Amino acid sequence: MRRPPAPGGLALLRAPFAAVKAMLGWRRSEPLAEPLSLAPMSSLTARLVPSIAAVDPAAWDACANPPGIAEAAAEGERYNPFVAHGFLHALEASGSTGGRSGWTPAHVTVEDKSGRIVAAAPSYLKSHSMGEYVFDHAWADAYARAGGDYYPKLQVAAPFTPATGRRLLVVPDAPEGAREALVAGLREVRRQARASSIHVTFPTAEDATRLERMGFLVRHGEQFHFLCEGYKRFDDFLAALASRKRKSIKRERREALGDDLTIDWLTGSSIKPEHWDAFFAFYIDTGSRKWGRPYLTRRFFDLVGAAMADRILLVMARRGGRYVAGAINFIGDDALYGRNWGAIEERPFLHFEVCYYQAIDFALSRGLKRVEAGAQGEHKLARGYRPVVTYSAHEFADARLARAVADYLRHEREAVARTIAHYENHAPFRRGDGENAETLGEAFDADL
């Protein structure tokens, strides 16, 4: 099942192979932005860009977060921090991506006849499946046992970030065919790099539908999001809960802070280097206790803070003058995204207070529509977070692997739909059978 070398001249192969060599640890001499074959789309040019620094920030952000975009055209988020140039650049410049991280930048841009960038995709050649939150390890293992090379693969994603957002980034006035040209460019990178597949993780429902129409296989997952639904204050949310769950949350909040902890909300210029030092200690401690390798370097937080401090919320718990726990959130125009948390002391319910309840408080204070608190976590259900569908899209060079995955995904989508319906039936909100509706949430609490 090993594929022969892809056809094509040395000039076309040079840029993708340079990126593959970088991924494997070899030295790359010059930044490259080679044109990719898009025939017969002669009016548009796709380019492989192996560093986000090579793209003008304003040009990238005009695709990623078009200024003044109408809510109806925003696909759920008028500003998404994780596809912003500042976020992606902080990852690369800090060494969190690139180098030997296994995330080799291989961004694709599309230019019109004037040379203006009209579409872009944050993409990476990957030598592993870590940091994605859409798990394909079983696919990789099965393909390897069948004699195939699953890696490298091409990943279109916001690295280390299980948050839904646009992945096919297109300016509002792009010429017809810009998205198709972008996908054609991704396919050309995959072909030239001899990668096994393309994976687009956490796209919007609209992007998932577009990709499915272009031949990708769509996968469903689930997360838990808090939907603000017209609440003005936290007490409005509490009033919507069944009585036992309302009392439980009030008790958790009291016990989490006690008489000795204070919560600080830090954003913009109020975030100082000492706050990043404290938070990074929390972040490293959490990664170490989970037997994982933290993905983000200390320098990343300095760089992302300098680039987009007004889009960051640090929720920090302190005793006197010493911080003991904290969570980092990113602020969109429509959502608050909870990302990482940590603590240097154990305290019952402190995680729920810092990560979930404070996020709800902040989102309501800003008039945001929802809180996305990251991947997994059925315990969020008992705390007012609702199950929602997430998406990913996948395309494989080997038709045999594609057929096997397509069959698997058909069954998985059915299972996800049943699971979400089950979760919704056990949401903690008031209704006629309110007492029974709390049972599942109470069971999750018992497992913590």
203: CATH = 3.40.630.30
Q: Are 128 and 71 in contact (CB under 8 A)?
A: no
pLDDT of res. 253: 96
Which amino acid, one-letter code, is at 306? A
Query: Are 134 and 189 in a shared domain?
Result: yes
pLDDT of res. 27: 28
pLDDT of res. 7: 31
Q: Please list the residues that pair with 341 across neighbouring strands.
A: 327
Q: What is the full DSSP assignment across 193-254?
A: TT-SEEEEESB-HHHHHHHHHTTPEEEEEEEEEEE-TT--SHHHHHHTB-HHHHHHHHHHHH
Structural domain for 163, as ranges: 10-215
- Report helix, strand or coil for 290: coil
Query: Are 188 and 241 in a shared domain?
Result: no
Query: Are 233 and 201 in a shared domain?
Result: no
pLDDT of res. 38: 60
Instruction: State the Cα–Cα distance between residues 164 and 143, nearest whole angstrom.
Output: 28
Query: Are 184 and 230 in a shared domain?
Result: no
Instruction: State the Cα–Cα distance between residues 398 and 150, nearest whole angstrom.
Output: 10
Residues 6+ apart with CB under 8 A from 347: 256, 261, 324, 325
Query: Are 203 and 253 in a shared domain?
Result: no
For each of the chain's 448 residues, which pLDDT tens digit applies?
333 333 332 222 233 334 444 433 322 323 345 667 665 556 899 999 999 999 999 999 999 999 999 888 888 899 999 999 999 999 999 999 999 999 999 999 999 999 999 999 999 999 999 999 999 999 999 999 999 999 999 999 999 999 999 999 999 999 999 999 999 999 999 999 999 999 999 999 999 999 999 999 999 999 999 999 889 999 999 999 999 999 999 999 999 999 999 999 999 999 999 999 999 999 998 766 655 678 999 999 999 999 999 999 999 999 999 999 999 999 999 999 999 999 998 899 999 999 999 999 999 999 999 999 888 778 898 899 999 999 999 999 999 999 999 999 999 999 999 999 999 888 888 765 334 434 444 433 333 3
Number of domains present in the structure of the chain: 2
Query: Are 376 and 260 in a shared domain?
Result: yes
Residue 33 lies in a domain: yes
Q: What is the full DSSP assignment across 65-95?
A: S-TT--GGGTTT-S--GGGSHHHHHHHHHTT
Cα–Cα distance list, 338 to 62, 231, 406 (Å): 25, 19, 32
Within 10 angstroms of residue 435's Cβ, the number of other Cβ atoms is 11
pLDDT of res. 11: 26
Query: Are 237 and 205 in a shared domain?
Result: no
Radius of gyration for the chain, computed over Cα atoms and rounded to the nearest angstrom: 23
Query: Are 195 and 344 in a shared domain?
Result: no
pLDDT of res. 5: 32
Residue 419 lies in a domain: no
- Taking alpha carbons only, the member of 407, 399, 396 closest to residue 154 is 396
Query: Are 153 and 200 in a shared domain?
Result: yes
Instruction: State the Cα–Cα distance between residues 186 and 195, nearest whole angstrom.
Output: 11
Q: How far is CA 204 from the centre of its chain?
A: 11
